[in-house]
Chain A
Amino acid sequence: MTDTSRRAFLQGTAVAAVTLAPGLTLIATAADARPAGEAASPKQRWGLLIDTTKCPAECTACIDSCKEEMGLPDHGRPATDAQYIRKVSVKDPASGKTVSLPVMCQHCAKPACVDVCPTGASMKRADGIVLVDRHICIGCRFCMMACPYKARSFIHEDQTGQKIANPRGKGCVEGCTLCAHRVDAGEMPACTEACQNRGKGAMVFGDLNDPASEIAVRVATEATTRIRADLKLDPAVRYQGI
Chain B
Amino acid sequence: MNRLRLAVIGFVVLATAILAGHGAMAGDGRPALPQAKGSVCVEDTQVMRRNHMDLLKHQRNDTLRQGVRGGKHSLAECVSCHATDGADGKPVPVTAEGQFCQSCHSFAAVSIDCFSCHATVPADPARTAIR
Contacts from A to B (Cβ < 8 Å): 2-3, 34-40, 123, 125-127, 129, 131, 133-135, 158-159, 161-165, 167-170, 172, 180-182, 184-185
Shortest 9 CB-CB distances between A and B: which pairs? Answer: A36-B70, A40-B67, A169-B117, A39-B66, A167-B117, A167-B118, A169-B116, A164-B119, A181-B131
Given contacts A125-B67, A126-B67, A182-B131, 14 further A-B contacts (CB under 8 A): A36-B69, A37-B69, A39-B62, A126-B66, A134-B117, A164-B76, A164-B119, A164-B122, A164-B123, A164-B128, A164-B130, A165-B128, A168-B117, A185-B131
- Chain A residues, CB < 8 A from B119: 161-164, 167
Known: A162-B119, A164-B76, A170-B116. A135 touches B64 (CB 8 A): yes
Cβ < 8 Å to A, chain B residues 73-131: 76, 116-119, 122-123, 126-131
Q: How many residues of B contact A (CB 8 A)?
A: 24
B64 adjacent to A131 (CB under 8 Å): yes
- Chain A residues, CB < 8 A from B131: 164-165, 181-182, 184-185
Option from B69, B71, B76, B123 in Cβ contact (under 8 Å) with A184: B69
How far does the alpha carbon of A37 sit from the alpha carbon of B74 in the complex, in Å?
Answer: 13
- Tell me if B65 counts as interface (CB < 8 A to partner A): yes
Q: How many A-B residue pairs have CB under 8 A?
A: 73
B-side binding surface: helix, strand, loop or mixed? loop
How far does the alpha carbon of A165 sit from the alpha carbon of B122 in the complex, in Å?
Answer: 11
A184 adjacent to B67 (CB under 8 Å): yes
Cβ < 8 Å to A, chain B residues 52-68: 60-62, 64-68
A123 adjacent to B65 (CB under 8 Å): yes
- Chain A residues, CB < 8 A from B117: 134, 159, 162, 167-169, 172
- Chain B residues, CB < 8 A from A181: 131
Known: A168-B117, A169-B116. A2 touches B126 (CB 8 A): yes
- Min CB–CB distance A140 → chain B (angstroms): 18
How far does the alpha carbon of A16 sit from the alpha carbon of B62 in the complex, in Å?
Answer: 37
How far does the alpha carbon of A158 sit from the alpha carbon of B66 in the complex, in Å?
Answer: 28
How far does the alpha carbon of A2 sit from the alpha carbon of B123 in the complex, in Å?
Answer: 13
- Chain B residues, CB < 8 A from A131: 64
A180 adjacent to B67 (CB under 8 Å): yes
How far does the alpha carbon of A23 sit from the alpha carbon of B127 in the complex, in Å?
Answer: 34
- Chain B residues, CB < 8 A from A37: 68-71
How far does the alpha carbon of A3 sit from the alpha carbon of B123 in the complex, in Å?
Answer: 12
A127 adjacent to B67 (CB under 8 Å): yes
- Min CB–CB distance B100 → chain A (angstroms): 17
- Min CB–CB distance B92 → chain A (angstroms): 14
Option from B66, B69, B130 in Cβ contact (under 8 Å) with A125: B66
